[in-house]
Amino acid sequence: MTGPVAREIIGRMSGPHVIRGSVVLPEAELVWRFSRSSGPGGQHVNTSDSQVELRFDLAGTQALPPVWKERALERLAGRLVDGVLSVRASEHRSQWRNRETAAVRLASLLAEATAPPPKPRRKSRIPRGINERRLREKKQRGETKRGRSGRDWG
Maximum distance among all alpha carbons in the chain? 106
The answer to the question of residue 91 being in a domain is yes
For 1, how many CA atoms within 13 A lie in the half-sphere containing its CB?
A: 7
Q: Which of 12, 16, 18, 35 is nearest to 88 (CA)?
A: 35
The answer to the question of residue 120 being in a domain is no
pLDDT of residue 4: 41
The answer to the question of residue 133 being in a domain is no
The answer to the question of residue 56 being in a domain is yes
d(CA 47, CA 24): 34
pTM: 0.62
Say which DSSP state 28 is in: G
**Domain containing 104 — which CATH number?**
3.30.160.20
The answer to the question of residue 96 being in a domain is yes
Cβ contact 109:87 at 8 Å: yes
d(CA 56, CA 24): 13
The answer to the question of residue 121 being in a domain is no
Domain count, the chain: 1
* Domain range enclosing 83: 17-38+46-114
pLDDT of residue 108: 87
Q: What is the pLDDT along the chain (154 residues), one digit of tens a residue?
A: 444 433 333 444 556 777 777 777 777 778 888 887 776 666 665 667 778 888 888 888 888 888 888 888 888 888 888 888 888 888 887 888 888 888 888 888 888 888 888 899 999 988 999 999 999 999 999 999 988 876 665 5
The answer to the question of residue 141 being in a domain is no
d(CA 100, CA 26): 15
The answer to the question of residue 26 being in a domain is yes
Task: Report the amino acid identity of residue 8.
Answer: E
pLDDT of residue 40: 64
